[in-house]
Amino acid sequence: AALMRARGVVLTPSQSQRASLALACVFGVFVVGYGAANCADNISLYIDMPLERALGDAAALSFWFVLYPVPKVLNVGRLAGTGYERLVSYHKLVSVSVLICTTLHGGAMVRRMANPAVELRTWAGPHPALAGVLAWSLAVVIVATS
């Protein structure tokens, strides 16, 4: 955006929508590629539940990107040549990515549980399933209301 603005390029609304869709696709490919690389790494290291853990890592990566456009004084926005208001739509888009990744991660983990009815209500171990259920529930509420 900054390079386009410096050269005097102005996008029409339909061009802007296509550019936003292209950026969303690039981000989606990035998250999927990251998840696939993590899954391959988990398999090569003989880590238990490699796909499930890779989906969780992809959710964590997406969550990291959610936080970029939040502050109003934002150097990332300045580098991109855009203001805070224009980044809100990307914030929402990445939030949906977080929800999709956490839903896939949670579903894959539940599929591997011996007794999901009990484990999903238990707060035990280094990664309690109940914490994931609560975090996912809050993510659903936040994404649904924004």
Place of tokens 């936080």: 67
Cα–Cα distance between 35 and 121 in angstroms, integer? 27
CB contact set of 52 (below 8 Å; sequence gap of 6+): 105, 108, 109, 112
pTM for the structure as a whole: 0.79
What would the pLDDT profile of 46-63 be if each residue is shown by its tens digit?
999 999 999 999 999 999
Whether the per-residue pLDDT at 74 is higher than 70: the answer is: no
Question: Do residues 84 and 68 lie in contact, with contact meaning Cβ atoms separated by under 8 Å?
Answer: no
What would the pLDDT profile of 1-29 be if each residue is shown by its tens digit?
566 666 777 778 888 788 888 888 999 99
What would the pLDDT profile of 95-124 be if each residue is shown by its tens digit?
999 999 999 999 999 999 999 999 999 998
